């Protein structure tokens, strides 16, 4: 696709990409990090110290997140801790805006849409100003990066099936591998490809020819090794993923479905409707691209986190545009673009952010306590012989506080769970000693220092310790809301 800088839509794309970048980078490190961000940052610190994400406990963190972690370590090396760690997501979140433009332009680049209607611009507009897109582009996690590579892989897959040549196949393989090295959800891409070819089985003959022609170029051993290395890495990650997977006997299908219908009401229904306005080739790409990840997350992932849906939400946004375009064309073909633009703005009014803000609420399953102020308070008031107790030593590390003892908790909603490493009495992330109930009571009575807990811990911690904490006198209480409050207790405590 040729770039024409005189194209008014391209000029507008550059403008909204700049605005999208400003919304994503504004006051980037002011909001406190949350628990999972600290896990990623802790692994990035270990990469900077050891070269690999090997935790002090001896555990290896994030085999399926390697690309994200190494990139994060690089940006932490260049910029201040939290800002640098989050800037990686800002980059990919911003790049997703022009990617959305070219995704829609490529997939729908045929008459009469090319001249009369620009889905690419409308798609980029939603991505640029969507609150959820901005919010997750400001987190030190892999979600924004994975969304970018997921969409890029689908775009390259569509291009490969439109013009089957080995160069397009190589680009597709590289992007798919990068997706998997960002998040294990990248394996859903291969299921999507497979489902597409089941629906378009005649295209497999042409794919076979491309593969045979392409591999004929790799005659020397060095070239074959170079080609097979990323495939073997992905294969190894896949085997580890399958063997170590925590399979579940519970389905979150209805929970995720209810979330989509309640949180993205117009997008959900108009997006589903948009599937029926597609031709067969597009339908056979969009259907598995939505359905397979949704079923995968609903039936195979042991945790209920609505953020897991984030990476394929843009496809729902684009299908909503398809529905709106169809409705607008029925009203007036000549002004369908402007009608669609007005309808999208009206429907998206409660889902967009137009002015920069520093704090974003993610979701109820992603607690966001004000750890920043809590640990900064402790750091400022910590005396030489004081100790620090908290369930979150990785958060404390980000804010420069050394933790002496860790409280055990269940990080998932499964019946059992612990943050201990194997059979040891040490924390999985930092190898810090974990207090049992007896030691915890004795420490509260005899040691000077601080105890920092949040409401998430009070829901998932050990029952005996929670009972004790609920009867302690708080020194400071930072309650953002019921789900994300954080409390500081001064030690020693009298019972």
Q: Domain-by-domain residue ranges, the chain? A: 8-29+80-351, 371-491
Beta strands across the sheet bearing 449-454: 434-435, 405-407, 387-390, 449-454, 486-491, 474-478
Handedness of CA 195, 198, 201, 207 (dihedral sign): positive
Residues 356 and 359: their CA atoms lie apart, in Å, by: 9
Q: CA neighbours within 13 Å on the CB side: how many for 337? A: 14
* pLDDT tens, position by position, 184-216: 999 999 999 988 888 887 776 666 566 555 555
Residues 425 and 419: their CA atoms lie apart, in Å, by: 9
The encoded tokens of residue 305 equal 């986190």
What separation in angstroms does the CA of 63 have from each of 45, 60, 176, 203, 258? 16, 7, 16, 34, 32
H-type alpha helices, 51-187? 66-78, 81-107, 113-116, 119-129, 131-136, 143-162, 166-182
Q: What is the pLDDT along the chain (495 residues), one digit of tens a residue?
A: 555 656 787 888 999 999 999 999 999 999 999 999 999 999 999 999 999 999 999 999 987 899 999 999 999 999 988 999 999 999 999 999 999 999 999 998 755 444 445 888 999 999 999 999 999 999 999 999 999 999 999 999 999 888 877 788 889 999 999 999 999 999 999 999 988 888 887 776 666 566 555 555 555 545 555 555 666 666 666 666 555 555 555 678 899 999 999 999 889 999 999 999 999 899 999 999 999 999 999 988 888 899 999 999 999 999 999 999 989 888 888 888 888 889 998 998 889 999 999 999 998 778 899 999 999 999 999 998 999 999 999 999 999 999 999 999 988 766 677 899 988 899 999 999 999 888 888 888 899 999 999 999 998 898 899 999 988 888 888 876 656 889 999 998 776
* pLDDT tens, position by position, 48-97: 999 999 999 999 998 789 999 999 999 999 998 899 999 999 999 999 99
130 conformational bin, left if phi > 0, alpha if psi -120 to 50, beta if neither: beta
Chain mean position to CA 179 = 12
Task: Work out the end-to-end distance of the chain between its first and last CA atoms, rounded to an integer number of angstroms.
Answer: 72
Residues 143 and 160: their CA atoms lie apart, in Å, by: 25
pTM: 0.90
């Amino acid at each position: 696709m040729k770039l024409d800088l005189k194209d008014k839509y391209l000029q507008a794309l550059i403008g909204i990409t700049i605005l999208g970048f400003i919304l994503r980078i504004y006051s980037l490190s002011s909001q406190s990090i949350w628990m999972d961000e600290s896990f990623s940052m802790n692994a990035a610190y270990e990469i900077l110290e050891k070269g690999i994400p090997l935790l002090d406990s001896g555990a290896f963190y994030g085999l399926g997140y390697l690309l994200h972690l190494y990139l994060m370590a690089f940006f932490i090396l260049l910029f201040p801790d939290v800002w640098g760690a989050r800037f990686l997501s800002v980059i990919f979140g911003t790049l997703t805006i022009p990617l959305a433009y070219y995704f829609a332009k490529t997939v729908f680049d045929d008459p009469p849409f090319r001249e009369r209607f620009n889905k690419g611009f409308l798609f980029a507009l939603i991505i640029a100003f969507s609150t959820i897109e901005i919010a997750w582009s400001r987190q030190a996690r892999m979600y924004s990066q994975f969304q970018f590579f997921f969409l890029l892989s689908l775009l390259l897959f569509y291009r490969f099936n439109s013009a089957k040549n080995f160069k397009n196949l190589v680009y597709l393989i590289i992007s798919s591998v990068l997706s998997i090295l960002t998040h294990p959800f990248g394996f859903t891409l291969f299921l999507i490809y497979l489902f597409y070819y089941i629906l378009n089985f005649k295209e497999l003959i042409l794919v076979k020819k491309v593969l045979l022609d392409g591999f004929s170029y790799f005659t020397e051993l060095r070239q074959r090794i170079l080609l097979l290395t990323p495939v073997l890495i992905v294969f190894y990650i896949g085997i580890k993923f399958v063997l170590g997977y925590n399979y579940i006997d519970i389905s979150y299908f209805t929970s995720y479905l209810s979330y989509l219908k309640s949180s993205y009401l117009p997008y959900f229904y108009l997006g589903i409707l948009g599937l029926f306005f597609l031709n067969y080739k597009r339908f056979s790409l969009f259907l598995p691209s939505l359905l397979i990840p949704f079923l995968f997350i609903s039936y195979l992932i042991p945790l209920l986190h609505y953020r897991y849906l984030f990476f394929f939400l843009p496809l729902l946004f684009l299908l909503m545009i398809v529905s709106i375009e169809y409705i607008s064309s029925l009203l007036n073909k000549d002004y369908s673009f402007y009608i669609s633009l007005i309808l999208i703005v009206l429907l998206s009014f409660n889902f967009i952010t137009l002015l920069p803000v520093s704090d974003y609420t993610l979701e109820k399953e992603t607690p966001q306590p004000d750890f920043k102020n809590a640990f900064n308070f402790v750091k400022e008031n910590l005396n030489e012989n004081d100790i620090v107790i908290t369930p979150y030593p990785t958060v404390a590390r980000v804010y420069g506080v050394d933790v002496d003892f860790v409280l055990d908790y269940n990080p998932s909603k499964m019946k059992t769970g612990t943050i201990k490493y194997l059979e040891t009495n040490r924390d999985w992330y930092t190898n810090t000693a974990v207090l049992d109930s007896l030691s915890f009571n004795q420490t509260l009575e005899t040691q000077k220092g601080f105890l920092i807990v949040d409401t998430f811990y009070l829901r998932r911690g050990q029952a005996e310790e929670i009972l004790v904490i609920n009867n302690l006198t708080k020194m400071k209480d930072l309650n953002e809301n019921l789900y994300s409050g954080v409390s500081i207790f001064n030690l020693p405590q009298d019972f």
